Chains A and B, each alone.
Chain A
């Protein structure tokens, strides 16, 4: 079954601290994996996209990793800011078949002062 599991479900950290969000997937055939940031009441905004051959991708203070062998990805946020408070969604795109994109339920991150 094509699934994307994210952990933790929610996370609270102090401003300035680092954190790592996890994503495990069983989606196949795999095409790429994306991380999105979704602010409350807004649509998701893309942070990173990685294909099978990419191990790491950075976007400012966001760094995503991908291990295609173990089907795991992580999103590391460095020196968190209050504006990082949002839901972070992991999405895996399939190469073929129905349901071209499989979404995780997201991790709700709250950064507090």
Chain B
């Protein structure tokens, strides 16, 4: 079946602009995660959605970052007033039912803020 997909694959934006990154999880997966991977750095947890529960936003670096998950499926990560330090690969993952289950990652969106 189809895996996790993300769009766009690459995004170049000017400093100060807003961007939206999209994630389509595997159908039927109730858990969805967003991560950020900066050049030469490890994966950084951003936010975690589990079913209808309130999302775990503990990893969001600032209030410029927000995410939504509509209808328990597609998720959008929004970065407002982008800064150069926001440049990174943003990875989305989904799992069947929570953090104890296998996570399947998408290919990522490479964001470059100029």
Mark A residues whose CB is within 8 Å of B: 4, 31-32, 41-46, 49, 89, 91, 93-94, 98-106
Stretch touching chain A among B66-74, B78-86, B101-109: B101-109
Say how far B98's CB is from chain A's closest CB, in angstroms: 9
A-B contact count (CB 8 A): 52
B residues neighboring A (CB under 8 Å): 4, 33, 35, 41-45, 48, 56, 58-59, 91, 93, 99-100, 102-103, 105-108
Check B105–A44 contact: CB distance below 8 A: yes
Q: Closest residue of chain B to A32, judged by CB?
A: B100
Given contact pairs A31-B99, A101-B99, A43 touches B91 in the complex (Cβ within 8 A): yes
Contact B45 A103 (CB under 8 A): yes
State A98–B4 Cα separation when bound (angstroms): 24
**Distance A46 CA – B1 CA, assembled complex (angstroms):** 17
Contact A43 B45 (CB under 8 A): no
Assembly CA distance A8 to B92 (angstroms):
27
A42 contact from B48, B102, B107, Cβ within 8 A: B107
Which chain A positions have C-beta within 8 A of B100?
31-32, 93
Chain B hits for A49, CB < 8 A = 102
